[in-house]
Amino acid sequence: MGDSVKKIIFLIVFLAGCLKVHAQSPDVVVLCYHDVRDNVGGIPVAAGKAPSRPQMIASGENHLDPDQYAISTWNLASQFDWLHSHGYNVISLQQLIDARTGGQKLPAKAVMLTFDDGLRSSYTKVFPLLKAYAYHAVVAVVGAWADLPADGKVDYGPRPFTRDDFATWAQLREMQDSGLVEIASHTWDLHHGIIANPQGNIIPAAVIHAYNPRTGRYETDEEYTARIRADLTRSSEEIRQKLGRAPRAVMWPYGSYTQVAASIAESLGMSASFTLGLPVTSPNRPFGLTGIRGIPRLVLMSNPSIGDVVWSLRHLDLRSNIRAVQVDLDYVYDADPAQQERNLGMLLDRIQQLHPTQVWLQAYADPDGTGAPSSVYFPNSELPVRADLFSRAAWQLRTRCGVDVYAWMPVLAWQLPNKALQARLKIESKPGVSDEPPVRLNPFLPETQEIVGSVYEDLGRASRIAGILFSDDAVLRDTDDLGPSAPPPGPERTRALIAFTNEMAAHVQHWSPELATVRNLFAEPTLHPEAESWYAQSLPAFLSNYNSVALMAMPELENAKEGRSWLTRLSRKVASVPGGLPNTVFELQTVDWRTKQPVKTSKLRGEMRLLMDHGVLHLAYYPDDFENNNPKLRSLSPVFSASPSPLLQTEPVTDIPRQSRVTQ
């Protein structure tokens, strides 16, 4: 494919040497387009004539167009022609609904075409091609943009868009009446960002509780729900009035939605909803692969050539090798807001240079290292808030560094402000056991489930995240006095604790429906499966219930006499378990907690190379000391970095959403 392979075609970052995952193939590939123009990337193209190679080289292979979402009419026609000549079947929304709700079977190599934002080019450029090929498509309309007054403008990114940039209702009606085009909602006016935290971050309006800087107050659930319902109702009703038919689908702006928003859309007749990106497959819930809620779409960017598109369609099963950095937000926090911003800036600069794929970001506060936090970094109803910091740090990492942010959260180790309640819920040792157990709450008590569930719900409400890392405190010892309702030590207790974490994840999924889960696992029950009775941990059980397992591959923590041979033994043990290596992240330590001294980066690098030599695919480390450059960035990067080969990304990366409110 030559130089054109460097283009961003779809939205997912993956590294060189990607891992093939054959989890579950989608029954349909849904493509998402935006503007279509004859002149993209500064190339003047005559009608019916392909750009010459010199023209493409002169324009920088079309990379220089200010609108990275635009595609040339020529390239779109080439893609349609290739789909037609290679046996792809372009399906309608009705076919997809019928197939996903138990009706007709989809044809082989099914593709669905969608065009966002209700742009004029969907009528002038796309519609003629649809008629020529007899292809179906869905055009998603933003009501406020369709109603733009003559002097109104939309900050569309490359330039302000005016009334002439959007299709008229008459044009939309003509396309709909052809039987080839279905009009969907793109919301009435949610395709913009709103202030989402005290630091002023702008986050998509459909998924976040608005923050009012004048009052210092967040929207309540009731206010959020009313705002979303009013917008979607207006969108649906306007489309029904203008076109004679209410929409049956909603395309969520920026691909982001909540379960609340999806339920409202469904109550208004928009049973099908679409996001962006590749399907996220959870062991117990395949998002976007079944049903008609949250169907992912692949966004075509940077005017991809037909070669780019062909390559991408044939490599939909590629997934990234994980490179995760576990970050203490305690290192970022400072009582001085200016210093806190400088600390955050240092972290962002470091992550940008290192290029991991994920950051596991501490969402709780534990400055004394007790392992049982008494405060958190997000608004909630159960614990003190040390600082409302998590939302800002997570959003900055996601948008500035292009990483997936996972909230690193305790499961049982909480210090409640009510000391009497803490004493009642705390796990004690069985009679006759002399050692003091680590601070944990009993997961089999309804009060524990309610309190911890409320904290997780508030986390989901406060910030848009890609996943959760369940911390290493999720341990139940065989010497714990858990009461008569607890199952006995062994597999039953392991399953019960897994069920508890899944319940906590469900609270966050209420607000981040495509949430992924990772669970810390100690090395001992991995090397010696009989130790499951001592920990309530099991590698096979974890592999079946979480997207990934974060295995604590920490020789010094385990007092291993010879670290390299210990890591070799650990990697071979994981490899012997079905699905072990493809779904296990080996997490190394950068501090020897026995001596409180940093582990030399050369040693860490050697351990990573050793693990990769034994077939390990996914790596992480903890902690990251960005202030003191530990581990050493230049030394670690060649081994650890997921150097961006940006063919595919999961969603647009920008601090401020691309389209903002209409200005009049």
What's at 346, amino acid-wise? M
Burial class (CB in 10 A: 0-12, 13-18, 19+), 594: exposed
Where exactly are the structural domains of the chain?
2-36+66-318+656-663, 321-641
User: What pLDDT is stored for residue 657 in this prediction?
Assistant: 45
Q: What is the chain's percent helix, strand, coil content, to nearest 5?
A: 35, 20, 45
3-state secondary structure of 114: strand
Token digits for 520? 């810390």
User: What pLDDT is stored for residue 100 in this prediction?
Assistant: 87
Residue 189: is its pLDDT beyond 50? Answer: yes
Residue 212: is its pLDDT beyond 60? Answer: yes
Question: Which residues sit opposite 620 in a β-bridge?
Answer: 324, 587
> So what's the architecture of 2-36+66-318+656-663 in CATH?
Alpha-Beta Barrel (3.20)
Locate all alpha helices (DSSP H) within 463-536, ordered by sequence.
491-509, 524-527, 532-535
Q: Give every CB contact of residue 421 below 8 A, 6+ residues apart in sequence.
A: 447
Residue 333: is its pLDDT beyond 90? Answer: yes
pTM over 0.85: yes
pLDDT tens digits for range 554-586: 999 999 989 999 999 999 999 999 999 999 999
How confident is the model over 95-99, as a mean pLDDT?
Answer: 93
Q: Are 295 and 4 in contact (CB under 8 A)?
A: no
**Superfamily name with CATH number, domain 321-641:** Glycosidases (3.20.20.80)
User: What pLDDT is stored for residue 643 in this prediction?
Assistant: 63
Under the phi-then-psi rule, with left for phi > 0, alpha for psi from -120 to 50, and beta for the rest, what region is 302?
Answer: left
pLDDT tens digits for range 622-633: 999 999 999 999
User: What pLDDT is stored for residue 187 in this prediction?
Assistant: 98
Residue 141: is its pLDDT beyond 70? Answer: yes
User: What pLDDT is stored for residue 24 in this prediction?
Assistant: 53
pLDDT tens digits for range 223-271: 999 999 999 999 999 999 999 999 999 999 999 999 999 999 999 999 9
Token digits for 637? 């990067």
Query: 524-530: long-range contacts (C-beta < 8 A, 24 or more apart)?
Result: 524/558, 526/551, 526/570, 526/573, 526/574, 527/569, 527/570, 527/573
Task: Work out the number of other CB atoms within 10 angstroms of the CB of residue 203.
Answer: 27
pLDDT grade for 655, boundaries at 50, 70 and 90: very low
How confident is the model over 382-405, as a mean pLDDT?
Answer: 96
How confident is the model over 38-64, as a mean pLDDT?
Answer: 50
Listed range (50-59, 431-440, 474-483) with the worst mean pLDDT: 50-59
Token digits for 498? 């897994």
Residue 441: is its pLDDT beyond 90? Answer: yes
Token digits for 229? 């319902």
Q: Are 335 and 108 in contact (CB under 8 A)?
A: no
How confident is the model over 435-452, as a mean pLDDT?
Answer: 94
Sign of CA dihedral 372, 376, 380, 383: positive
Greater model confidence, 178 or 66 = 178
* Residue indicated by tokens 């002023």: 200
Number of continuous H segments (helices) and E segments (strands) in the chain:
22, 37
3-state secondary structure of 226: helix
Average pLDDT of every residue of the chain: 88
Token digits for 632? 């050493």
Cα 316–chain centre separation: 17
User: What pLDDT is stored for residue 40 in this prediction?
Assistant: 86
Identify the CA nearest to 428 among candidates 488, 480, 484, 493: 480
pLDDT tens digits for range 511-534: 999 899 999 999 999 999 999 999
Q: Are 618 and 586 in contact (CB under 8 A)?
A: yes
pLDDT tens digits for range 642-653: 864 333 333 333
Q: Are 619 and 608 in contact (CB under 8 A)?
A: yes
Greater model confidence, 214 or 42 = 214
- What is the percent of the chain where pLDDT is above 90? 77
What's at 227, amino acid-wise? R
Distance between CA atoms of residues 399 and 448, nearest Å: 35
User: What pLDDT is stored for residue 71 in this prediction?
Assistant: 93
pLDDT grade for 547, boundaries at 50, 70 and 90: very high
Q: Are 625 and 636 in contact (CB under 8 A)?
A: no
Token digits for 78? 């080439």
pLDDT tens digits for range 103-138: 789 999 999 999 999 999 999 999 999 999 999 999
pLDDT grade for 283, boundaries at 50, 70 and 90: very low
CA separation (Å) from 473 to 378, 439, 521?
A: 20, 9, 10
Residue 1: is its pLDDT beyond 60? Answer: no
